[in-house]
């Protein structure tokens, strides 16, 4: 079993004919992901990367049975692309696009609330179930099939955690990059819960950063419902208050938004908190 994407997922790439869409779709295809086509309005009927191009997501769903969408659409059009995918019946929508206006995301999130779908992102590296499906921009070669789930707000730290877990001989079940924007679809708690309920995941690595309450919410979930070891790390320990660091959502707005406060909450909820990402692997190996 896997979380969100697997070998049976049928992926449509929104924005496949653009430079980013072309590059990453080709990487996904090379990895073995089932990419059934792409969407670029006005280019329907063409072929790109030996895949059909459709004018709409609805056409891709109808003709190819697409059930997962990945979005490489410019920021000003990306929220509309999310809503289009949700309206077409896509089950998992992964928005890679960075820089989507906050007001656009508020509108998109409200639109999809009553739809039967899950949004991951925006401004995220995507999802990978090693050996089955890579739906995003993460380097596939560092991942190894295994039983450790990884949840992260940071793309780069996701890769570090993956490398640590791989070198420790454990491998990964599914890695979920949730994104670092102020308004996102799947939260840290949502992703941790998915992995906690996955019978093929034995442990979870949770990587957060300054800003917001997502890590605290996830920690309280782990305290109440956790059945597997969780190793946690928070980036941004030296960040000054009031300055955005890296991601738009990484800003300290109050005392509970600091790295220290989050680490204390996580530790009090039974999460094994590490001071450095360099010991994530060995800490997890000692916990399972």
Tokens 């941790």 correspond to what residue? 192
Helix (H), strand (E) at residue 106: helix 102-112
Pick the catalytic residue from 24, 48, 143, 247: 247
Helix-then-strand count for the chain, H and E: 9, 14
Helix (H), strand (E) at residue 192: helix 188-196
d(CA 55, CA 39): 6
CA-only gyration radius of the chain, Å = 18
247 is catalytic: yes
Q: Which two tokens stand for residue 91?
A: 């089950």
Phi, psi of 50 (to 5 degrees): 60, 25
d(CA 269, CA 220): 6
d(CA 178, CA 153): 5
Active site members: 247
């Amino acid at each position: 079993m896997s979380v969100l994407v697997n070998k049976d997922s049928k992926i449509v790439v929104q924005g496949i004919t653009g430079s980013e869409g072309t590059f990453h779709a080709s990487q996904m295809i090379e990895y073995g992901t089932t990419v059934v086509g792409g969407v670029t309005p006005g280019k329907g009927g063409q072929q790109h990367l030996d895949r059909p191009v459709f004018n709409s997501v609805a056409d891709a769903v109808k003709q190819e049975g697409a059930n997962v969408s990945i979005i490489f659409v410019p920021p000003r059009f990306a929220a509309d692309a999310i809503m289009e995918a949700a309206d077409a019946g896509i089950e998992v929508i992964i928005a890679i696009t960075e820089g989507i206006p906050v007001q656009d995301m508020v509108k998109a999130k409200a639109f999809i609330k009553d739809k039967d779908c899950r949004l991951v992102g925006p401004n995220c590296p995507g999802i990978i179930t090693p050996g089955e499906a890579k739906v995003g921009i993460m380097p596939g070669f560092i991942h190894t099939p295994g039983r450790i789930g990884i949840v992260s707000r940071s793309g780069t730290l996701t890769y570090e955690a993956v490398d640590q877990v791989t070198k420790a001989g454990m491998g990964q079940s599914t890695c979920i990059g949730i994104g670092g924007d102020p308004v996102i679809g799947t939260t840290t708690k949502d992703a941790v819960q998915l992995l906690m309920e996955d019978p093929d995941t034995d442990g979870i690595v949770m990587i957060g950063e300054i800003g917001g309450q997502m890590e605290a919410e996830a920690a309280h979930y782990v305290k109440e419902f956790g059945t597997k070891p969780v190793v946690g790390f928070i980036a941004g320990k030296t960040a000054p208050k009031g300055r955005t660091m890296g991601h738009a959502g990484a800003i300290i707005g109050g005392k509970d938004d600091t790295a220290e406060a989050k680490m204390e909450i996580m530790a009090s909820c039974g999460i094994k908190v590490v001071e450095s990402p360099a010991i994530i692997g060995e800490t997890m190996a000692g916990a399972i």
